Chain A
Amino acid sequence: MFDGYTFSELTSILAMQGFAGLILFSVFVLMALGLAIIFGQMGVINMAHGEFMILGAYVTYICSHIFSTYLPSLFGIYFFIAMILAFFAAGALGALVEWAMIRHLYKRPLDTLLATWGLSLILQQVYRSVFGAREVGVTLPDYLLGSFQLTDIIEVPINGVFVMCLTFLITLGVAYLMFKSTWGKQVRAVVQNRAMAGAVGINTEKVDRGTYALGCGIAGVAGSAFTMVGSTGPTSGQLYIVDTFLVVVFGGAQSLLGTIASAFAISQSQSTLEFFLSGSMAKILTLLTVVGILMLRPQGLFSLKIRR
């Protein structure tokens, strides 16, 4: 397939393809982080993850409307405000859901799967009733559209760079929270031994609610960011859920580092394969490889060494 191309053309295309892989990597990390926190740290199988993302997307949609109608002069910065609001909206809904539903199911982790799946159906229908069945268009400020021209052939999409930076910042933030802050220590203590954590005076219920809300909030930010690259509709969340679970499970559910490593491995293999094969074949091969590795190593790439 490379007949008749010059060396510089090929290197440029490979560079761009590498970059496409990195964008895919950031998208995977961003969508999986929230789930990794909830699934990894709490053992809750959150099937409604996609719908929390779409809540963020709808918050962005509402913001774009409000700003373009009432505050056109500030339209350029609305996207950042929308992301913050998306975080709090999705986080608040998360806390509510944890209080109303999830906390009753901690002893029955498999039932959380059914309960959150039901929640996802309910949320989809709520979005459909409120915003209509059709997809909505989110208008972006002009500087987020288009691409940087680096050389004649190499062009870097601006929204890709934006998602990469955002992912980097959020990952740093989560890492700091989890590994440096007192709250993070409490979360990890609860994960390792709930009874002992309670015995030393950690309010495990409060920690649970905070963890769940944080995971949902990050999903909201991810959904807000993905309005740049994807669709916003009642069922758009379903487009992400399979890949998200794939990344988290493959990485080893309880390890944030594992999530990142697995997002990297899956995104790179997929984007490389996509370039040489057709899109559907690439997906099949990636899935087969993941299934193969999980058969050999059911706990995922990385796992915590804890006593059970």
Chain B
Amino acid sequence: MSRHHTTDSTLFSALRRKFILGMAALPVVAMAPFNSFASDVNTTGLAVTDDEVTVGILHSVTGTMAISETGSVQAEKLAIDQINAMGGVLGRKIKFIQEDGASDWPTFAEKSKKLLVNDKVAAVFGCWTSASRKAVLPVFEQYNGMLYYPTFYEGLEQSPNVIYTGQEATQQILAGIDWVVKEKDAKSFFLLGSDYIWPRTSNKIARKHIEKKGLKVVGEEYYPLGHTQFNSVINKIRLKKPDVIYAIVVGGSNVAFYKQLKAAGIDLKADNITLLTISVTEDEIRGIGGENIEGAYAAMKYFQSLDNENNKAFVKAFKEKWGSDIVIGDVTQAAYLGPWLWKAAVEKAGSFDIDKVRAASPGIELTTAPEGYVRIHENHHLWSKTRVGLAQKDGQYKVVYETKELMEPNPFPKGYQ
């Protein structure tokens, strides 16, 4: 009797177990259309679980470049927060691992390898200087990672493993020069830059474009990075009397240049001279001081003052997260696009696999971008509009011009190299 009873109860408990298992399986079955199994959307062993996907953020938060890269980190974190609040990517919350490139290019390479090989991140948002991008490029190509790079840069590069969310040189330069020639009747230009690849390549493109129009470049000068004394070049500018000073000075030098320009009595608000820059965003103006740069023009794709609904929402969310006295520059906005473009590509591909995301990327469009509308080109750069802003005393730009059409990215411009 007792034996029979045992069998009976074993049978019963086995049945009960089966029933419970069935109950447990129910929600999984029900969720399946929204939340596919990790093995289906991730065939290459990335850090993707059923409810989480890991990405990397790789910027300098220490060292010289921390000045510039802080904004990008903040923008990327904001975008990730917002995406998570909307339910994540393919039903998975984004988790990020942040690494510090420490303004040192070998460190960037090492950290990117760590993110790709150890952490197996599905995408990396990062880098700022061209030097750091060049340093991580071989790593991304070797281990097949995906980098979203936010800075406007000199072009001459196109990697299957990078999406360039900032403008390449021709997008920024050509529209700006066309504008200044038309609006300010400019005939002569003085090109000035910090001495490294971006200003030199950019000025080369600018010079070709100016000379194609039959106009004159009356001077071209480069100063070492970190140079703090610009009185000599200011005297040269005074002697050559150009209609336009085309300035691509960067970093701490920027502050010195504009302060000394003002002190030398060159009034940027006056009609006889126009200063056009492609290197001073609202971020840099904080250090320079609005009163020192008031009246200068900048050509880039984004200004904080852009008057559209997307941008108003973006600025509001950014200030809520990072403080009300913060300013947002061109690169910060471009960094914000990174996670959104990645999300769109992953969802179009239906997979986190790098190869599928890459294949899905061209043609991805964002109608919600703060700068308006952007679309990824076959060459991995963005179609975007270029704007000209007039620097105000309060440190903001007033948008005075916007290209009608999206500018086509052209990282290898024929006739400009």
Q: Which residues of B (61-97) have their CB < 8 Å from a CB of A?
A: 61-64, 66-67, 70
B159, CB-defined interface residue at 8 Å = no
CB pair A228–B66 under 8 Å, yes or no, is no
Closest to A14 in B: B235
B220 CB, min distance to chain A CBs, angstroms: 8
Task: Enumerate chain B residues within 8 angstroms of A125, measured Cβ to Cβ.
Answer: 62
Interface size on A, residues (CB 8 A): 51
Binary A-proximity of B216-241 (CB < 8 A = 1, otherwise 0): 00001111101111011111101100
Set A5, A20, A233: member contacting B67, Cβ < 8 A: A233
Interchain CA distance A228-B291 in the complex, whole Å: 13
B252, CB-defined interface residue at 8 Å = yes
CB pair A136–B233 under 8 Å, yes or no, is no
B298 CB, min distance to chain A CBs, angstroms: 17
CB pair B259–A229 under 8 Å, yes or no, is yes
Q: Is the interface of B mostly helix, strand, loop or mixed?
A: helix
Interchain CA distance A190-B347 in the complex, whole Å: 75
CB pair B287–A135 under 8 Å, yes or no, is yes
CB pair B259–A24 under 8 Å, yes or no, is no
A232, CB-defined interface residue at 8 Å = yes
CB pair B265–A135 under 8 Å, yes or no, is no
Interchain CA distance A125-B255 in the complex, whole Å: 21
CB pair A275–B259 under 8 Å, yes or no, is no
Interchain CA distance A59-B292 in the complex, whole Å: 21
Interchain CA distance A138-B287 in the complex, whole Å: 8
Set B235, B252, B283, B284: member contacting A239, Cβ < 8 A: B252
CB pair A24–B287 under 8 Å, yes or no, is no
Set B70, B195, B226, B264: member contacting A147, Cβ < 8 A: B264
Interchain CA distance A175-B369 in the complex, whole Å: 62
A16, CB-defined interface residue at 8 Å = yes
B14, CB-defined interface residue at 8 Å = no
A142 CB, min distance to chain B CBs, angstroms: 9
CB pair A157–B232 under 8 Å, yes or no, is no
Task: Enumerate chain A residues within 8 angstroms of B232, measured Cβ to Cβ.
Answer: 17, 20, 271, 274-275, 279, 282
Given the known inter-chain contacts A27-B229, A145-B262, A155-B264, please indicate yes or no for A230 contacting B256, CB distance below 8 A. Answer: yes
B342 CB, min distance to chain A CBs, angstroms: 26
CB pair A232–B287 under 8 Å, yes or no, is yes
A205, CB-defined interface residue at 8 Å = no
Closest to A273 in B: B232
A182, CB-defined interface residue at 8 Å = no
A146, CB-defined interface residue at 8 Å = yes
CB pair A137–B228 under 8 Å, yes or no, is no
Interchain CA distance A159-B261 in the complex, whole Å: 11
| Count of A-B contacts judged by CB separation below 8 Å | 142
A133, CB-defined interface residue at 8 Å = yes
B333, CB-defined interface residue at 8 Å = no
Interchain CA distance A280-B193 in the complex, whole Å: 11
Interface size on B, residues (CB 8 A): 47
Interchain CA distance A20-B264 in the complex, whole Å: 10
CB pair B252–A233 under 8 Å, yes or no, is yes
Interchain CA distance A160-B252 in the complex, whole Å: 19
Task: Enumerate chain B residues within 8 angstroms of A283, measured Cβ to Cβ.
Answer: 224, 227
A134, CB-defined interface residue at 8 Å = yes
CB pair A229–B256 under 8 Å, yes or no, is yes
Interchain CA distance A278-B238 in the complex, whole Å: 16
B321, CB-defined interface residue at 8 Å = no
CB pair B259–A279 under 8 Å, yes or no, is no
A8, CB-defined interface residue at 8 Å = no
CB pair B229–A238 under 8 Å, yes or no, is no
Task: Enumerate chain A residues within 8 angstroms of B363, measured Cβ to Cβ.
Answer: none
A9, CB-defined interface residue at 8 Å = yes
Closest to B64 in A: A235
Task: Enumerate chain A residues within 8 angstroms of B239, measured Cβ to Cβ.
Answer: 5, 9, 13
A23 CB, min distance to chain B CBs, angstroms: 6
B15, CB-defined interface residue at 8 Å = no
Closest to B225 in A: A239
B260, CB-defined interface residue at 8 Å = yes
CB pair B238–A238 under 8 Å, yes or no, is no
A217, CB-defined interface residue at 8 Å = no
Task: Enumerate chain A residues within 8 angstroms of B67, measured Cβ to Cβ.
Answer: 133-135, 233-235
Interchain CA distance A172-B233 in the complex, whole Å: 31
Interchain CA distance A5-B241 in the complex, whole Å: 11
Binary B-proximity of A278-292 (CB < 8 A = 1, otherwise 0): 111011000000000
Q: Which residues of A (99-148) have their CB < 8 Å from a CB of B?
A: 125, 128, 132-139, 145-147
- Known contacts A137-B288, A158-B263; 10 further A-B pairs (Cβ under 8 A): A16-B235, A16-B238, A153-B238, A159-B260, A235-B63, A271-B231, A275-B232, A275-B236, A279-B223, A280-B195
Q: List 12 A-B contacts (CB under 8 A).
A: A16-B238, A133-B66, A135-B255, A137-B289, A145-B292, A159-B259, A160-B231, A228-B263, A229-B256, A230-B256, A231-B252, A239-B228
